[in-house]
Amino acid sequence: MQRFCLTLKMRPDPVLMEEYVQRHAAVWPEILESIRAAGVTGMQIFRDGYRMVMIMETTDDFTMERKAEMDRANPVVMRWESEMAKYQQSDPGADASAKWLPMEKIFDLQTS
C-alpha cells in the first residue's frame, strides 16, 4: 500500500465552499468507480477553512501519472473536474490538472 497526502486551495467564498461540500456528499457513482479503477483503495478529504487536504491509500502499483491519464480518457471525470474548477484555486503558473498538490512528509511515528 502507498499513501499520498495532497492539498488544494479553494476560492475564498463561503457559498461556493458550502456547494463544494454538498457536491462531495453526493459524488457521482462514475467518479467513485474511476477512483477505485485507478487503484485508490481509500480516500478522505479534510477541510481547514478554504484549504483541503486529501489522504489517499492506493495499491502498490498506483501512479499519479496513470490516474491522470485514465482521468483524461474519461469524459465523465473530465465533466466532474470541469464543474469542480469553479470552487478550486490553482497556484499561479500551475497546470490546471495539478490543482491537488502533493505534500512532503516530514515525520513518521512508525519509523522514528
How high does pLDDT run on average in the chain?
A: 92
pTM (2 decimals)? Answer: 0.87
Query: Which amino acid appears at position 75 of this protein?
Result: P
109 pLDDT higher than 60? yes
Nearest to 19 by CA among 96, 75, 86, 89: 86
Q: How far apart are alpha carbons 112 and 98 in whole angstroms?
A: 31
Residues 43-98 have pLDDT tens digits of 999 999 999 999 999 999 999 999 999 999 999 999 999 899 899 987 665 555 67
Q: How far apart are alpha carbons 61 and 94 in whole angstroms?
A: 26
Q: Rounded mean pLDDT of 104-108?
A: 92
